[in-house]
Amino acid sequence: MYDGAEEYNRRVAVVAMTGLAATIVGGSTIHSLLRMRLLETFGDLQRMTSDDEVLSTLHGLRTIILDEAGMLSAELLQALDAYLTVARKRAGVSNAQAAAGRDCKLSEAEREEAARPYDKPFGGLQLILSGDFFQLAPIETRPRMASSSSSPSAPRQGAAKKGPADQPFGNRGFMFQAPVFYYGGFRLVELTQVFRQDEARFVALLNAVRCGSDAEATAAKATLRAECARELDVSDGIKPTRLFARNDDVARKNEEELAALPGEQVDLRAADSWRLTGEPSASVYAPLVSEQLLAEVDYRRLAFALDGHPIPQPQAPGQSQPTGQDTPALQAEARHQERQLLLRMGHMSHVQKVGDILPDRAYSHAMRLREKWREEAEKHIQEVASGPGGLFRDCQAATVVTLKEDAQVMLVWNKDVSAGLVNGSRGVVVGFTSISEEELKQPLAMAAVLEEAEGIEVARELRRPPSP
């Protein structure tokens, strides 16, 4: 159990294989979480083992819940086992070094001890995978072809020798074909209740096609074809839904049907926007220490307040580590400091915590570091969301929707489940109505409040009086 939503969000990551699936489960893509982006070689997976942000996140995580796991390849699952273990070990050693202090270098034995808890499948992370192997399969990637001017039989003179990290990543195989699927401690749970259809006969026919014998599948498909060939009742004006394999064919058919309707077309433009809600880890503020704007002890307190890293035991000048009978007292003092910070900062925002701990001379520089991090984070999110599998690229809701009266429409989102307005619901446009100016002001005002709230908080902190 976790103590509140903040701790749950720090300990549990909800992700999916595609941007659209990630939106539905209220999470992000696995590629975004681990900064994998476009995987062309195994070297692209190494980013998660060297990125400070990812290491900080992975060290705090306990569980990763992954949806659409049927699209997770054996190659990627096996690679995640290796690279997550390396990353978690590195994060554990880094955290132990931070706790010991920069002036006290860990011995090899201490480094091994700090890494030992993560010497498990996936670095000790719990993976909960949810998916259907009868749906979309992993999409294999083809390595880029070498330049035609280069010889395929011999490397260029002076070219660097290729290692394992340079090997092409093919995204091959089903997840259950990976060795880690069997030694990783997975427990298999089959979900048998169907929610999308409530007609038992129809469900039985679908299951026969999915996993029945050849004879059962053939008979079920014949029954389904006969049922689909019957005349349908279209008295409500809703035409039967036609399915196509390619989006291009869908768009072409919809444009043809719309053009055939009389009347004036109406363009409806989406008011899309997004905002960054995450905050940086304490490592973003580490330059304040090297620039002598922040004492080491205050940086450790900040790391505890923001990331939960334990406050190291206080040490006397010249003492590398506490020894003897002093150790319990020093440990108690460190724990006391942690409790005091928790009591004082339990309900503070990120900016308030930074402002409470940092001296005035460091605060303005810290806000500039935070703003730089936010700019880079927003740029990264934009790149990921616009790339392969990203939300902006895969989103079924178009930026501009062109309609006419009597146009056939379909919902691509659950609007009102109790009223039956769910993803896939069909209808016909009977007319258009204008939204009142007062109704338009409400969502715009709410968006403005959300956008300005963070800026108001920062401005308030910047205007705080100097410490006495």
**What are 48-84's pLDDT values in tens digits?**
888 888 888 898 899 999 999 999 999 999 999 999 9
The amino acid occupying position 257 is E
Model-wide pTM > 0.75: no
More confident residue, 370 or 300: 370
Note the pLDDT of residue 308.
65
Lowest mean pLDDT, pick from 62-71, 289-298, 365-374: 289-298
Cβ–Cβ under 8 Å, residues 121 and 184: yes
The 10s digit of each residue's pLDDT in 113-172 is: 999 999 999 999 999 999 998 888 898 887 654 444 443 444 445 445 555 677 888 889
User: What's the mean pLDDT in 183-192?
Assistant: 92
Which band of pLDDT confidence, cut at 50, 70 and 90, is reported for residue 450? low
| CB-CB contact of 23 with 74 (8 Å) | no
Domain spans of the chain, in order of start: 5-143+167-191, 282-315+324-382
The winner for highest mean pLDDT among 249-258, 305-314, 376-385 is 249-258
> Among candidates 32, 71, 86, which has minimal Cα distance to 171?
71
pLDDT band at 337 (very low <50, low <70, confident <90, very high): low
Task: For residues 456 and 375, give the distance between their C-alpha atoms in angstroms, rounded to a whole number.
Answer: 18
Q: Are 111 and 56 in contact (CB under 8 A)?
A: no
Contact 362, 294 (CB under 8 A): yes
Distance in angstroms (rounded) separating the CA atoms of residues 362 and 338: 22
Q: Which range is least confidently modeled, 125-129, 221-225, 256-260, 458-462?
A: 458-462
pLDDT at 261 over 80: yes
The dihedral sign for the CA sequence 332, 338, 344, 346: negative
| C-alpha–C-alpha distance, residues 14 and 165, integer Å | 28
> CB-based contacts of 431: which residues, under 8 Å, 6+ apart?
405
Rounded Cα–Cα distance for residues 359 and 450 (Å) = 29
Residue 416 pairs in a beta bridge with 421
